[in-house]
Amino acid sequence: MIILAVESSCDETAVALVKDGREVLADCIASSVEMHKIYGGVVPELASRKHIEVISTLADEALAKAGITRKEIDAVAVTYAPGLIGAVLVGVNFAKSVAFSLGVPLIPVHHVRGHIAANYIAHPDLEPPFVCLCVSGGTSLIVDVKSYTEMEILGATRDDAAGECFDKIARVMGLGYPGGGPLDRASQGGDDKAFTLPRVHIHDAPLDMSFSGLKTAMLNLIHNAQQKGEDLPVSDLAASFSAAVSDELVPRTMFAARQKGYGKVAVVGGVAANSRIRRDLEAACEKDGCKLYMPPLKLCGDNGSMIGSQGYYEYLAGGRAGTDLNAFANRDISLQY
Ligand code: KG4
């Protein structure tokens, strides 16, 4: 079964062709990140306009790359939530019109479920159940992936997402936008104990996370130094911050994994590209005797392949939408469409 998959929830427009949920025939991505850089963050209206400009060209490009015709498309999958509402709407309306004109099913896909499926493409042996840490610019969740389409949130951030925290701190450190990658690179070789930063414990909710206190502590540290005219050692600061974020995520994920006892742990989302988090997860999984699944860096960020993969499993579970499909800025990952 060949699925044409569409992703437009933030600043990446992506169209992919995926066969039977695991084989990527083509994945074409256009990013508008360069346009947003001067504003220090994504400007939703600009992102939406960029999606409109490129989406149909990307679909043609994907078909050409895969060497198939429109007639060979069996279904269309699309991110319908969560995301920037105007941006998601562009993909949803494009997908609706393609599905309607080809007379094929339309499959709604939750964006974070899509991120989880990135590992199905990277690791042919991976099957649920497993515990998955989902960390991106908009989300930080620990999810019990019970089956391909049954999910339960075990822990969630109470405030900011990990990626948002990386981006804000990188911006005040002068590392540009989006800052997760540059901050990660700046941390290489730095002393992760140079600065004492807070670790959070939420009473009665050991798997919930919080990044706002860490963000405030970092901002105070940086602003105090600026007011005194002092220069902080960038790589030590980046390393200490990365260690604090990882300490928020990795022990909780492992705690959840021990509770569930699946012996399989996965990590997904843009922040899954972080070298410190990857290293800490590797060490923790080795210690606990768990198998760890991480996507390659190109599948950590938003892409169409992951939507095509998850779309296949949603289709098998009966996930279908009509031309009345709407987009949602927020939606619980555990809800089936
Ligand atoms: O998954 P993604 O591409 O978009 C969302 O669905 O949100 O994630 C983007 C986020 C950004 O916040 C970016 O700074 C972060 O992923 N990111 C990283 C790294 N690479 C990207 N954060 C930490 N370390 C990295 N190496």
pLDDT digits (tens, 9 = 90+) for 178-207: 999 999 999 999 999 999 999 999 999 999
Q: Which atom of ligand 1 is nearest to the CA of 9?
A: 6
Q: What is the pLDDT of residue 318?
A: 97
Global pTM reads 0.96
Q: Cα of 137 to ligand 1 centre, how many Å?
A: 5
The per-residue pLDDT for range 232-275, each reduced to its tens digit, is 999 999 999 999 999 999 999 999 999 999 999 999 999 999 99
The residue whose CA is least distant from atom 24 of ligand 1 is 274
Task: Pick the atom of ligand 1 nearest to 139's CA.
Answer: 7
Among residues 302, 269, 300, the alpha carbon closest in space to that of 9 is found at 302
Residue 108 Cβ contacting ligand 1 at under 6 Å:
no
CB 210, CB 244: distance < 8 Å? no
pLDDT score recorded for residue 213: 95
pLDDT at 174 over 90: yes
* pLDDT, tens digit, 9 for 90 and up, residues 263-315: 999 999 999 999 999 999 999 999 999 999 999 999 999 999 999 999 999 99
Cα-to-centroid distance, 136 and ligand 1 (Å)? 5
**Does the Cβ of 271 fall within 6 Å of ligand 1?**
yes
The ranges assigned to domains in the chain are: 2-115+300-316, 126-298
Residue 269 alpha carbon to ligand 1 centre in Å: 7
Output the CA 140–ligand 1 centroid distance in Å. 11
- The two domains 2-115+300-316 and 126-298 share their CATH topology (first three levels equal): yes
**Statement: residue 231 has pLDDT above 90:** yes
**In which region does residue 242 sit, left (phi positive, over 0), alpha (psi from -120 to 50) or beta (all else)?**
alpha
- The pLDDT value recorded for residue 136 is 94
Beta-carbon count within 10 A of 278 CB: 19
Q: Per CATH, is 2-115+300-316 categorized as 3.40.50.10790?
A: no
40 pLDDT more than 90: no
Counting atoms of ligand 1 from 1, which one is nearest the CA of 178? Answer: 14
Does residue 11 have its Cβ closer than 6 Å to ligand 1? no
User: Separation of 271 CA from ligand 1 center, angstroms?
Assistant: 4
CA distances from 41 to 82, 173, 281 (A): 18, 15, 29
Please give the structure tokens belonging to residue 175. Answer: 């590392």
CA pair distance 21, 17, nearest whole angstrom: 10
Ligand 1 atom 13, closest CA: 180
Report the atom number in ligand 1 closest to the C-alpha of 273.
26
* 3-state SS assignment for residue 36: helix
Ligand 1 centre from 106 Cα, in Å? 28
Ligand 1 neighbourhood includes 180 CB (under 6 angstroms): yes
- Please tell me the CATH code under which domain 126-298 is placed: 3.30.420.40
Strands 291-293 and 264-268 come out as: parallel
* Ligand 1 site, residue 136, Cβ cutoff 6 A: yes
Phi, psi of 196 (to 5 degrees): -90, 120
Length of the chain equals: 337
